[in-house]
Amino acid sequence: QVQLVESGGGVVQPGGSLRLSCAASGFTFSSYGMHWVRQAPGKGLEWVAFIRYDGSNKKCADSVKGRFTISRDNSKNTLDLQMNSLRAEDTAVYYCAKAGEGYVFDIWGQGTMVTVSS
Amino acid sequence: QSALTQPASVSGSPGQSITISCTGTSSDVGSYNLVSWYQQHPGKAPKLMICEVSKRPSGVSNRFSGSKSGNTASLTISGLQAEDEADYYCCSYAGSTTWVFGGGTKLTVL
């Protein structure tokens, strides 16, 4: 079945770095754009980043621009998010999501928790 | 990229109908028929319920419907059921390969 599984979350100090990964299965990964979406504890959803199916177009939200980088490896069916210069406000559950027709997020992973704290 | 505006909470009794509004701007909701809605139960990942303003993905109950007028989109749930109790988020494409979510609405089924 279609599945997205995130990994790489954990506790990191302010200013530190972390790399999240998302393993995709059950669909032709190389044919679809992918997103990262985050949710701070008790808060709403926030779109973080998007990458086109072939990696040729990437975009990040203003709140993470210059600090976060989205990438993908279509040979391994994986999506990554490199997070640098982390701040307390980056603390959240990070979800990877498949881009669906109509500019939607049609498949979601279970999320991975990132805590930025000293 | 300011978040879309949703009421913090709504409630209704079983069998009733409720509507959740989602107000954006002429740069997002008002410019594109690309509003989607997501249901999220506590501790779970969001689930797509409505796409392109009013289309229901396969498997989503026809009790869920969407609409849009100007800069405001709406989600209506008819025949409320206990399992509908969840958080609901709207989302709009905002141009230039960016997306914006609403702040979320907690639905309580009384």
8 Å CB contact of B36 and A101: no
- Residue B56 has a pLDDT of 97
Cβ contacts of A50 on chain B, cutoff 8 Å: 97-99
- The yes-or-no verdict on residue B1 having pLDDT over 80 is no
pLDDT in tens, B23-77: 999 999 999 999 999 999 999 999 999 999 999 999 999 999 999 999 999 999 9
Bin B15: left if φ > 0, else alpha if -120 < ψ < 50, else beta.
left
pLDDT in tens, A59-79: 999 999 999 999 999 999 999
Indicate the DSSP class of residue B33.
S
- The yes-or-no verdict on residue A101 having pLDDT over 80 is yes
Task: List B residues 13-42 in contact with A (Cβ-Cβ < 8 A).
Answer: 32, 34, 36, 38, 40
Q: Say yes or no: B45 contacts chain A, CB-CB below 8 A.
A: yes
**Region B81-108: what's the mean pLDDT?**
97
Mean pLDDT computed over every residue of chain A: 97
The CA distance from A109 to the nearest CA of chain B, in Å, is 7
What are the residues whose beta carbons fall under 8 Å from the beta carbon of A28, sequence distance 6 or more? none
CA distances from B9 to A42, B12, B73, B89 (A): 14, 11, 16, 11
Closest CA to B29 of B76, B87, B74: B74
